[in-house]
Amino acid sequence: MSNFVIVGAGECGARAAFALRDKGFEGTITLIGSETHLPYERPPLSKDALVAGAGPKFVAEPERYIEAGIDLLLGRTVSGIDRIAKSVVMADGTVAPYDKLLLATGARPRALSGTIHGGRIATLRSHNDATRIRAHLVEGSHVAILGAGFIGLELAASARRLGATVTLVEGLPRVLSRGVPAEIAEIVTKRHLAEGVEILCGAKVARVEELAGEVRILLDDGRVVSANLLVVGIGAVPNTELAQAAGLTVENGIAVDGLLRTSDPDIFAAGDCTSYPLPLYGDRRVRLESWRNAQEQGQLAAANMLGGVEAHAAVPWFWSDQYDMTLQIAGLADGAVTTVRREMGEEAFILFHLDAEGRLIAASGIGPGTAVARDIRLAEMLIAARAHPDPAALVANHVKLKSLLAA
């Protein structure tokens, strides 16, 4: 009987384990994860669940692992891969042999150099991090957030909902500089300012000091931000050390081909830890940190571990919720030469990004609730179809995007 081992019991690893069974795999499935919680969803950690102080939202209830015959080893860290013996070894010395191995080790927050995280300096990746941060999000407390990316901004919105004072410190000239158009970043900034968030852009941190009862962020222009807690949200780094030590190719993530195979044909990798070629964008190698990508790649890796030959071709997609606003981005906009705007009703719009040949390569939208969701979904289909829609039709909101798809 075959042994399949999955390292990393997050979104991607858990989805892969269930997909193996759904696709009829009858061998042993061992899912190993460092965290002690059952696999859970990370997006709520900075959003509603943080505000509510809720427990983890599990990918699946415990009985489903038993029903599916998945051996779930939690609180166990894999410390090495022996590619010759085809086994993984855990930190406690336990060895698990594999016929096929999936690395779904995810990513971890980038640390702020020169600081020791713990005490009054935190990052947000796990349920335990969220619990620790939430203890500080009370009226009268002041939280400083370093980095105005998605996690920093979502955390700022949640902190305001809980009554904490918030200062956002961003080194670049504006919020959301990575992959989000300035027009959308402007709406986001205005809303945070209206909600009472202090935003300091172009602010370079010279030093961070932890004192009794406070943390002080000294900026290089002499300004000082004093807070009860500093949350560092300056991006994530992929967990590639295991792969690297095993001699697998690593290139901004564990490098895989379109089928999610690493440089060892018996080892696959998927989710946040992985970089892969995207055919839609000329096989450009990308690494996504996105919930849907982790799900889709987990499922695809399972199919290909069973001998499938389907290449990953999904359009990248990401969403973020802040206050009552939802932002959605489909595709990659950085090769765009033309951007046109479709109004979607009050305070909602979508930007369509086209390349030099007029091909739709990305769409970014923002609005209250689900205002842009349906049309972003249709835009995603146009992107996948490599459509060259008429920009005037994209702007005219009486023209249904569905009709462009049919064309």
Buried b (16+ CB within 10 A) or exposed e, 189-208: bebbeeeebebbeebebeeb
Which residue in 158, 240, 320, 364 binds ligand FAD (CB under 6 A)? 320
Token pair of 38 as six digits: 């059952």
Token pair of 114 as six digits: 């020169």
**CA atoms within 13 A of residue 64's CA, in its CB half-sphere:** 13
Instruction: Tell me which residues in 88-147 interact with ligand FAD (CB under 6 A).
Output: 104-107, 124-125
Which residue in 5, 10, 147, 379 binds ligand FAD (CB under 6 A)? 10
Token pair of 117 as six digits: 């995280």
One-letter identity of residue 396: A
56 vs 389, which CB is nearer to ligand FAD?
56
Which residue in 4, 6, 13, 328 binds ligand FAD (CB under 6 A)? 13
Strand, coil or helix: 206: strand
Q: List the helix and strand counts (H, then E) for the chain.
A: 11, 26
312 near ligand FAD, judged by CB under 6 A: no
Q: x/- site string to ligand FAD, residues 159 to 198, per CB under 6 A? A: ----------------------------------------
Q: x/- site string to ligand FAD, residues 242 to 281, per CB under 6 A? A: x----------------------------xx---------
Label residue 50 exposed, middle or buried (CB < 10 Å: 0-12, 13-18, 19+): buried
380 near ligand FAD, judged by CB under 6 A: no
87 near ligand FAD, judged by CB under 6 A: no
- Say how far apart CA 105 and CA 125 lie, in whole Å: 13
Instruction: Tell me which residues in 18-77 interact with ligand FAD (CB under 6 A).
Output: 32-35, 42-43, 45-46, 77
149 near ligand FAD, judged by CB under 6 A: no
104 vs 175, which CB is nearer to ligand FAD?
104
Count, residues in the chain: 407
48 vs 214, which CB is nearer to ligand FAD?
48
319 near ligand FAD, judged by CB under 6 A: yes
* Site size with ligand FAD, rule: CB under 6 A: 36
- Residue appearing with tokens 């205005």: 190
- Say how far apart CA 4 and CA 16 lie, in whole Å: 11
Q: How far is the CB of 290 from ligand FAD (least distance, A)?
A: 4
12 vs 246, which CB is nearer to ligand FAD?
12
- Say how far apart CA 101 and CA 305 lie, in whole Å: 8
Cβ neighbours for 307, distance < 8 A, ≥ 6 positions apart: none
Which residue in 17, 38, 78, 232 binds ligand FAD (CB under 6 A)? 78
Which residue in 170, 289, 375, 380 binds ligand FAD (CB under 6 A)? 289
- Say how far apart CA 340 and CA 361 lie, in whole Å: 12
Q: What is the binding site for ligand FAD (CB under 6 A)?
A: 7-13, 32-35, 42-43, 45-46, 77-78, 104-107, 124-125, 151, 239, 242, 271-272, 289-292, 294, 318-320
